[in-house]
């Protein structure tokens, strides 16, 4: 499932169409992609509008069209944004195509867990404004993280890191990366962390978010081999810090990878 770094990368793909008008639109409106939106209204209002800006918040993207249209996109598990030639012919899994004079902007999703929301309003939609603030926003402090962990004291820390209301955009691999760097076992209960461990967890969360945005979010580059990321998928993978064999197990409903030589319970 795309996490905040992958979402940032895909958002940038449509930037090729900024400040250009929509000539026509293809919508596969019978699919559940539009379960929170109004595809008929989008089909009426988006043609002739101009794509003016794009932004991300956690796992959501928002595209602004002049004069008063907004398109929210969640990639789900398999969604992607891409561009193609102006005469592009939609394929089976293309649920939205915005045709411009020079190119086409495409949203595809084979497994249909993604979502599209269309709104008409002068200001950003209310649902967007209600999303949790970015983890690298100045308004999020260590005390907020500590309070959240105490409120979810009985949850495994891995599960707590996946809760979007406090850790927007963090998904499976980023949570594993954070815990590995912080030397915290994913089965530890969120309320069991000491103040020092909470501080380390928050520091590593910011490090992983910023580095992931710089590397994956920029141009989909592979992280360096010093990250857990490059080793967590392999059967028989080894911890890049200790050389011990990595383990994988379902924790918090998600397949979790950790290093028993580094993350002790």
How is the chain split into domains, by residue range? 4-129, 142-258
pLDDT of residue 264: 92
What number is the average pLDDT over the span 58-69?
97
Q: What is the mean pLDDT of residues 64-80?
A: 96
The predicted-structure confidence for 170-207, as pLDDT tens digits, reads as follows 999 999 999 999 999 999 999 999 999 999 999 999 99
**How does pLDDT run across 29-58, given as a tens digit for each residue?**
777 898 888 899 999 999 999 999 999 999
What are the percentages of helix, strand and coil residues in the chain, rounded to 5? 30, 25, 45
Query: Phi and psi of 208, rounded to 5°?
Result: -65, -45
* DSSP string across 9-64: HHHHHGGGGTTEE--EEEE-TTSGGGTTS-HHHHHHHSTT-EEEEEEEETTEEEEE
Sign of the CA dihedral running 84, 89, 95, 97:
positive
Query: CA dist 40 to 6, 63, 95, 208, Å?
Result: 29, 18, 13, 40
- Residue 2 sits at φ, ψ, to 5 deg, of -60, 135
**Mean per-residue pLDDT for 99-114?**
96
pLDDT, mean over the chain: 95
How many CB atoms are closer than 10 A to CB 20? 16
Instruction: Of 106, 51, 110, 52, give the one whose Cα is nearest residue 84.
Output: 106
CATH 1.10.540.10 fits 142-258, yes or no: no
Q: What is the pLDDT of residue 1?
A: 78
How many beta carbons lie within 10 A of that of residue 264, not counting itself? 11
Contact 8, 217 (CB under 8 A): yes
Q: Which CATH superfamily is domain 4-129 in?
A: MutM-like, N-terminal (3.20.190.10)
**Closest alpha carbon to 118 in 87, 95, 134, 135:** 95
User: For residues 93, 96, 99 and 105, what is the CA-based torsion angle, rounded to 10 degrees?
Assistant: -80
């Amino acid at each position: 499932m795309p996490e905040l770094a992958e979402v940032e990368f895909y958002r940038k793909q449509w930037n090729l169409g900024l400040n250009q008008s929509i000539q026509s639109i293809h919508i596969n409106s019978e699919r559940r992609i539009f379960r929170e939106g109004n595809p008929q209204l989008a089909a009426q209002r988006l043609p002739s509008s101009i794509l003016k800006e794009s932004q991300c918040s956690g796992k959501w993207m928002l595209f602004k069209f002049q004069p008063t249209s907004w398109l929210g996109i969640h990639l789900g598990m398999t969604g992607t944004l891409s561009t193609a030639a102006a005469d592009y012919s939609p394929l089976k899994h293309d649920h939205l195509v915005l045709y411009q004079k020079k190119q086409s902007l495409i949203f595809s999703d084979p497994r249909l867990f993604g979502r599209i929301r269309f709104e008409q309003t002068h200001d950003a939609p209310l649902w967007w404004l209600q999303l949790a603030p970015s983890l690298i926003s100045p308004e999020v402090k260590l005390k907020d993280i500590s309070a959240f962990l105490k409120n979810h004291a009985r949850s495994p820390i891995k599960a707590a890191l996946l809760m979007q209301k406090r850790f927007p955009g963090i998904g499976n691999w980023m949570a594993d990366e954070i815990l590995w760097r912080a030397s915290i076992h994913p089965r530890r209960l969120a309320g069991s962390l000491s103040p020092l461990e909470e501080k380390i967890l928050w520091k590593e969360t910011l490090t992983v978010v910023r580095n992931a945005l710089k590397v994956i979010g920029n141009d989909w580059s592979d992280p360096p081999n010093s990250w857990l990321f490059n080793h967590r998928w392999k059967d028989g993978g080894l911890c890049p810090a200790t050389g011990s064999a990595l383990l994988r197990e379902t924790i918090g409903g998600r397949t979790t990878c950790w290093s028993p030589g580094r993350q002790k319970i």
